[in-house]
Every structure is written in structure tokens, then in C-alpha cells.
Amino acid sequence: MNLTIIISLVVFLITIFMVGLWASRYVRSSNSFLQEYFLGGRQLGGFILAMTMTATYGSASSFIGGPGVAYTQGLGWVLLAMSQVVTGYFVLMVLGKKFAIMARRYNAITLIDFLKERYQSKWVVLSAAFSIVIFLFSAMAAQWVGGARLIESLVKIEYESALFIFALSVLLYVIIGGFRAVALTDAVQGTIMFFGTFILLVATIIAGGGIDQIMTDLVNENPNLVTPYGAEGNLSATYVSSFWILVGVGVVGLPQVTVRAMSYKSSKSMHRALIVGTIVVGFIMLNMHLIGVFARPILPGIEVGDKVMPLIAQEVLPPWLAGLVLAAPMAAIMSTVDSLLLLVSSAVVKDVYLNYIKPSASEKKVKRLSIGITAFLGISVFLLALQPPDLLIWLNLFAFGGLEAAFIWPVVLGLYWSKGNKYGALASMLVGIGSYIFIDQYSKAYPKFDVHPVLTEIYQWFEPIMNILPGMMEVHTVVYPVLLSLLAFVIGSLLTKNKTLQ
Amino acid sequence: MKKTDLRFKVANREALIGVGLAIFNFVWWFGLAYGLGDRTPEDYTYIMGLPSWFFYSCILGFLIMVVLVIVAVKFWFTEVPLDDEGGNLE
């Protein structure tokens, strides 16, 4: 049993590695190293673009717990997950051609390049780079822990060895192949997720005796499982809808998403990616979460959410197929990690070093530095993930919501509102991240405020304001910071209108 | 610079289409899920084995979005060059 799974996983890892090796030929032969390494030479076609986008959205969804929570909550969580269909078309339509054209005009390779040219401000660049490095580094480390845990549970080896295998396989192809390797492996990984989740869903339905039977079993166990309100009836419509911001439209602001929106070859690739992306995102989300719900009558009593997928696959599929299907969650984690690694590396090399430390660095030096920094970051993450410190776990919790609140308006309004300026952008980023952390901490302490006396004082001072805001304690933490950062952007830009005209 | 203005006009229109689709998507998703799902589970009707609220909101809703995106892209989206050189809109 285990041996078959190991063989499947090894085959998967070797395939991924070959793709990286193939992509590295482009890195060596390209005449613009930075463009190629961090952006794949802006040559992505429609299919690859759709897949790499999908794989990236998938990371936001691992944030909502995926199949494990669906197992506990029932169809209500599938409803919530389907809020992600919107990402399939919304992101590329809204950033769209304008972003692609502007990125080319500015010769931008990263999101920060775009912000730098748009706002012409050192402070915007530095605070953006700072938040990307801090938040995404933590998010990445947390994903490594997840990847290693998955290998650990599948292959039954020590956590440290599992982490080592995971780190080695990711690092190899990212370091040598850059963005093109990341995008291509995303396409392989996305394809595996697409077919893997579908096969597993069908097998689960058969094992459960058909959908009718599964529904009857669920109703008999707890009728709430087939309502939109969750197993305990506490998923309110307001709460579930607020995920439209966190994992739906809000992902427009995520740096790992925006960088992809400047990487495609032509309008034609973008059009095709819109269609393919919508289909693939919706299909994977629907399948993946339905598997979680349908697994419940077949395997009752699973305590740890992360184990639902591995256990149900081993239960309903023949071993060799289970091995292949289980490469899917592994693929999901890898495809997240690889893009984050490259993004953090680009923030350090391109946005900080080349902009402010040594703009005149030679091509050869930049090349060595990029590869070196990527490797260095990868190894540091590995070391941190061996024994993840609390701070890292804490930062990871803010990573997606915090970055969305920080970047959504500087990007979107930067494109479509000519009056937006650097003061607005800076205010928007600070207010977005600040209010995100504050509201998160506040709602965790609410209503007892059993924290440090100074904090308690502050919280109590804010309590009347928080109570007035409709739905504050019900919606996901990301909602208000996104609204507040919009206000900050507009007010900041309008107040300083005269200043920037001179 | 006139040719770039034209490209941006296309881009702005397409961004608005994206916003419009998202609003429609949300209304459909929300309306059917909570419109049909807000009753005791004993009163649910089932379509293809699934509760009707879930079938209409999540399955049919997804399929409709796919169709709408295909229609929007095929009929309303315009191919434009992305580089500034060769930026003619003929």
C-alpha cells in the first residue's frame, strides 16, 4: 500500500523536476535575465496562464481549510468555497489589458515596479517590499510545514526527513528554472488537481452508494449538514458572503496574483485564460469540497481535517490511483510555495537591491544574486520550518488578508483613477495592514479583553465604535480593512491634490 | 497618444464587464442559496440527489457563469496589442 503511494509520489516529483530543468534552458539563453527569471519573458500562453492563476488562487483556499472543514460543516462550506468561481474571470478582467499595457510601458517585472512607476515614491516602494517580504515569507514557511506534514502522513517517515524531501524538490526547480519553471509546474500540478479531484469525487460517490444515499445518510446524522448554515447552524449568510472578499474579488490585490497578470504573451492568451481559468477554478473547488462532504458517511469520525483527503483516497481508490490522486494536495502546496519563494526573492533583488542599493549592478552580478538569494531564502525557510517559531505562525495568519487590504486599492485605483497619488497609496497600505491586525486582535479578545492592561484600555475605548459598525463581529476580518483602506486612499489622494500638482 | 487612449477604452469597458459579471454571480449565488435553503431541511426538494438550493446556486450557477464568461469573451472582448510599439488599433 505505502510502497505504491511512494512510487506515485516519486514519479510526480521527477516529472516536476524535469519541467524545471527544461525551463532552465530559457533562463540560460535569455538575453534579459530579470524578465525571464522573474516573469518568464512575458511569454505565457492562455492555458499555462489559467493554470498558474488557478494554482495560485488555490493557496487562498487552503487558507479556508478546504475539504477538512467541508467534512465538518457540510454543504454550507461548499457554498462558501464556490465564492471562488469569481476569481477565475474577475482578476484578469479587472486588472486586464490596462495592467498588462502599463506593466510593459513601465518595463515592470514585479508588482512593486508597477507601484514605483505609478506613484514615483520611495516610501511606497519600501513599505510594499517590506510587507511582501514579511508576510509572504511567513506564508511560505507555513506552507512548507503543511507540505512536510503531508509527506510525513503519507509515507510514514520523520517530519525532518519529509521536510527535507519537500524542500529539496521545490528548491531545485525554482532556483534553476525561475518563473517559467514555476508556471509550467503549476500547469502540471493544476492538471493533476483537476483530474485527481474528479476521479476521487466519482469514486467517493460510488463508495457512498450514490448521491441520494449519501444525502439520506447526512440528513439522518444531522439535517444541518445539507443546509447552507453549517453543522451547528452558525454559518450566517453575512459571514459566508464576506468570503467573496477574502478568497473572491479581494485576490486582485495579492502580489502573487498580480505578477501573473503581467506575464502573458498577448490579448489572445488572456482571453483563453479567462475561459479556461473560470472552468478549472470552479471545477476544482466544487469537486474538492464535495469530496469532503461526501466522505462523511463513508468514513465517520475523522478528527483532524487535513487527514480527510488522504484517508478517503486510500479507502475508495485502488492503491496506485490513490497515490496519483494524493499527488494533488501535494501539488497544491508545492505550487503555492514555489511562486511565493520567487516573489520574495524578486522583492529583495529587484525592488530593494537594484532600486536603492546598487542600480548599476551588471547583468552577470544580478544573475548570480537572484539565484543566490532564491537559494538563500529557500534554505532559511527550510531551517525555520524545522521548528516554526510562534511569530511566524502569527504572521502567516495575516498574510493573505493583510496583503489584500494593503495592495488592492493602490493597484486597482492606481490603474483606473488618475487622481490617486502616492500619499493616498501610502495611507491605504498603512491603514489596510494596521486595521487588519487591529481588528483581528480585537475580535479575538472580544468581549472579555483579558489582555495587557494598555491594550485592554485601547480596546475598550474602541468598543463603542466597533459596536456601531454593522456586521463587524460577523463578517470575516478582511472586510472592514478593505473598506477602510479605500477610504484612506481616496481621502489621502484628494487632500494632497495640490501638493502633487506642482 | 491617441491610439493608446483607444486601447484603454477597450480595457475600461472590459473591466466593467468583469464587475458586472461578478455582481450577477453574487446575486445568483446568494439569492438561490438563501432563498431556497432558508427552510427546515425536511421541506427541501432534491434535484439529481442534491438539495435544490445547492443545485441551483452552486452547480447551475457555476455552469451559467462559464457560459456567460465564454459569451462575454467571444463577443465583447477585443484583441489589442499590449506593447506600445505596434499599438495600432486597426
Give A363-404 pLDDT, tens digit per residue.
Answer: 888 888 888 999 999 898 888 888 877 776 677 767 888 899
Once rounded to an integer, what is the mean pLDDT over residues A100-127? 92
**Whether residue B60 has pLDDT greater than 80:** yes
Position B24 scores a pLDDT of 98
Position A293 scores a pLDDT of 96
Helix A422-445 / helix A122-131 crossing angle, nearest 10 deg: 30
Question: Quick one: CA torsion of A366, A371, A377, A381, rounded to 10 degrees?
Answer: 170
Instruction: Test A82 with B53 for CB contact under 8 angstroms.
Output: no
| Residue B31 pLDDT level (bands cut at 50, 70, 90) | very high
What total number of domains does chain B contain? 1
Identify the bridge partners of residue A44 per DSSP, sorted by sequence position. Answer: A264
Query: Residue B30 sits in which domain range?
Result: 1-46
SS (H, E, C) B10-78: HHHHHHHHHHHHHHHHHHHHHHHHHHHHCCCHHHCCEECCEEHHHHHHHHHHHHHHHHHHHHHHHHHCC
Once rounded to an integer, what is the mean pLDDT over residues A470-476? 85
Task: Determine which of A49, A90, A97 to mutate to test the interface with B (most B C-beta atoms within 10 Å).
Answer: A97
Residue B71 placed within a domain: no
Position A61 scores a pLDDT of 56
**Whether residue A451 has pLDDT greater than 70:** yes
For B51-66, b/e burial (b = at least 16 CB within 10 A) is bbbbbbbbbebbeebb
| Residue A97 pLDDT level (bands cut at 50, 70, 90) | very high
**How many residues comprise chain B?**
90
Residue B15 placed within a domain: yes
Q: Which of A105, A229, A249 is nearest residue B84 as measured by Cβ atoms?
A: A105
Shortest distance between the Cα of B52 and any Cα of chain A, in A, equals 10
For chain A, the average pLDDT equals 87
Position A211 scores a pLDDT of 96
Does any CB of chain B come closer than 8 Å to the CB of residue A210?
Answer: yes
**Whether residue A340 has pLDDT greater than 90:** no
Once rounded to an integer, what is the mean pLDDT over residues A110-132? 92
Residue B19 placed within a domain: yes
Q: What DSSP state is assigned to residue A106?
A: T
Q: What DSSP state is assigned to residue A84?
A: G
pLDDT, greater one: A208 or A470? A208
Once rounded to an integer, what is the mean pLDDT over residues A440-468? 85
> How far is the C-alpha of A292 from the C-alpha of A67, rounded, in Å?
4
Position A29 scores a pLDDT of 81
Does any CB of chain B come closer than 8 Å to the CB of residue A241?
Answer: yes
Q: Name which of A271-285, A347-361, B45-59 the model is least confident about.
A: A347-361
Identify the bridge partners of residue B46 per DSSP, sorted by sequence position. Answer: B51
| Residue A219 pLDDT level (bands cut at 50, 70, 90) | very high
Once rounded to an integer, what is the mean pLDDT over residues A402-423? 94
C-beta atoms surrounding A451 within 10 Å: 15
Q: 3-class SS at A44?
A: strand
Percent of all residues in chain A with a pLDDT value above 70, rounded to a whole number: 96
- Taking only the tens place, the pLDDT of each residue in A45-59 is 999 999 988 888 776
Contacts of A108 in chain B (CB under 8 A): none
Shortest distance between the Cα of B45 and any Cα of chain A, in A, equals 11
> How far is the C-alpha of A17 from the C-alpha of A10, rounded, in Å?
10
Does any CB of chain B come closer than 8 Å to the CB of residue A219?
Answer: yes
Closest chain B residue to A244 measured between Cα atoms?
A: B26
Position A65 scores a pLDDT of 63
Shortest distance between the Cα of B81 and any Cα of chain A, in A, equals 7
Residue B59 placed within a domain: no
Once rounded to an integer, what is the mean pLDDT over residues A228-242? 93
Closest chain A residue to B23 measured between Cα atoms?
A: A86
Domains belonging to chain A, first-starting first, are 2-19+34-416 (1.20.1730.10), 417-502 (no CATH)
Does any CB of chain A come closer than 8 Å to the CB of residue B33?
Answer: yes
- Taking only the tens place, the pLDDT of each residue in A477-492 is 899 999 999 999 999 9
Instruction: Test B7 with A219 for CB contact under 8 angstroms.
Output: no
Q: Which residues contact A418 (CB under 8 A, 6 or more apart)?
A: none
| Residue A432 pLDDT level (bands cut at 50, 70, 90) | very high
Residue B51 placed within a domain: no
Q: Name which of A60-69, A80-89, A295-304, B64-73 the model is least confident about.
A: A60-69
